[in-house]
Amino acid sequence: MYQFDVVTLFPQLFPSFFECGVIGRAIKDKRLGFRSWNPRHYTNDVHHTVDDRPYGGGPGMVMMYEPLAQAIQSAKKQQPKAKVVYLSPQGKPLSQLALERFSKESGLIMVCGRYEGIDERVINDLVDEEWSVGDYVLSGGEIPAMVMMDGISRLLPGVLGHEDSAEQDSFVDGLLDYPHYTRPEAVAEQSVPAVLLSGNHEVIKKWRMKQALGKTWQIRPDLLEKLDLSSVQKTLLEEYIAEQD
């Protein structure tokens, strides 16, 4: 079982995430485990204070060292070998490659910040890695933690059935995914490309590869630059580009 431990001030955000879809099934099948750790439970004052004003002035509040550190330590006691990840806009941009690496481990401890963020000394003492879900700022680390948990979970053995296999998803081979169609054959004056109705699996495979290359070239040329395309792929992409004129 892969174990997620999430340090959060808002554990109530998570239950529905773990009830639905493939993640819900994985929890029921005991392929996934989830526990939350609330820094508020590690406070001694009547108000259960977890934040304070920033030294040096400025707007907002900062999550204090002690309650947060104790919540992380409690999670670490349960999972001593797990990496501690802080979700932060200052982290490395999350990628499919990183998710694949995390999916090979047996669990993860995730720290969700709130307010202006967390006391830097928590990062220095207890955080192994910082990851960002994108170059924008959200109000808390809970949604980024769900993004990470979702991305990791679907890579775990048995979580996706063969039918929704992750093998052909975007980024797995460095390209965006090809377009998908389902019934009806014609809708809103658009028909399914005839090749997909041909029953010729070789031709369909080639068409899908061409579309994946073409879409990546159009939308994310930066991804193509990182790839060493085969001669077949180069020809398919040239054909795709020529067809656009």
Residue closer to ligand SAM, measured from CB, 140 or 179: 140
Q: Rule CB under 6 A: which of 143-172 touch ligand SAM?
A: 144
Using the rule CB under 6 A, is 24 a contact of ligand SAM? no
CA distance 51 to 66: 10
Residue closer to ligand SAM, measured from CB, 98 or 204: 98
105-144 mask for ligand SAM (x: CB under 6 A)?
-------xxx-xxx-------------xxx-xxxxxx--x
CA distance 213 to 215: 6
Q: Rule CB under 6 A: which of 68-87 touch ligand SAM?
A: 87
Among 90, 165, 200, 218, binds ligand SAM (CB under 6 A): 90
Quick one: which of 91, 88, 83 has its CA closest to 126? 83
129, 169, 173, 177: which is the annotated catalytic residue?
169
What does the block give as tokens for 244?
């656009």
Quick one: which of 150, 149, 148, 155 has its CA closest to 172? 155
DSSP code per residue over 11-30: GGGSTTTTTSHHHHHHHHTT
Residue numbers at the binding site for ligand SAM (CB under 6 A): 87-90, 112-114, 116-118, 132-134, 136-141, 144
